[in-house]
Amino acid sequence: MTMKEITIDAKGKSMGRVASQAAAILRGKSTAEFAPNKAPQIKLTVINLKDVKVTGKKMKKKMYGKRSEYLGSYKEEAMDKIIAKKGIGYVFKIAVNGMISRTRLKKPMLKNLTVKE
């Protein structure tokens, strides 16, 4: 089986819609050879992500948290600060990560995702 390459153009589309489309493709739902116990041979590239729409007040109100093992270590940052630090590709990968089922196949599927801002 050879790797199939798919490209999604995110220009002018909503981030959530592009992320859900990417998650379905990475899962292999769009192929005839879909098997829930096998990672599909699909390389997905998302282009023009800098032109994606973020609707509403999400830039200021959507919070991303992180923690370490220490007590009181939970920290939150708004979406606009995360995008300024790490880029919109990082936020997009978090969105796709949350949409893929939590199995052993999650990591191999996410390795096939490439984001070009």
* Digit-coded pLDDT (tens) for 57-78: 999 999 999 999 899 999 999 9
- What pLDDT is attached to residue 46? 96
pLDDT tier for residue 17 given thresholds of 50, 70 and 90: very high
User: What is the model's pLDDT at position 87?
Assistant: 94
Rounded CA separation 40/53 (Å)? 29
User: Residue 33 — pLDDT band, cuts 50, 70, 90?
Assistant: confident
Its CATH class, for the domain covering 4-54+87-115, is alpha beta
Query: Over 70: is that where the pLDDT of 30 sits?
Result: yes
Torsion angles phi and psi, residue 70, rounded to 5:
-85, 150
Q: How far is CA 71 from CA 63, 68, 74, in A?
A: 20, 8, 8
| pLDDT at residue 51 in the model | 93
User: What pLDDT, on the 0 to 100 scale, is given for residue 1?
Assistant: 63
Cα dihedral sign for 99, 4, 15, 59? positive
Token pair 């292999």: residue? 28
pTM for the structure as a whole:
0.90
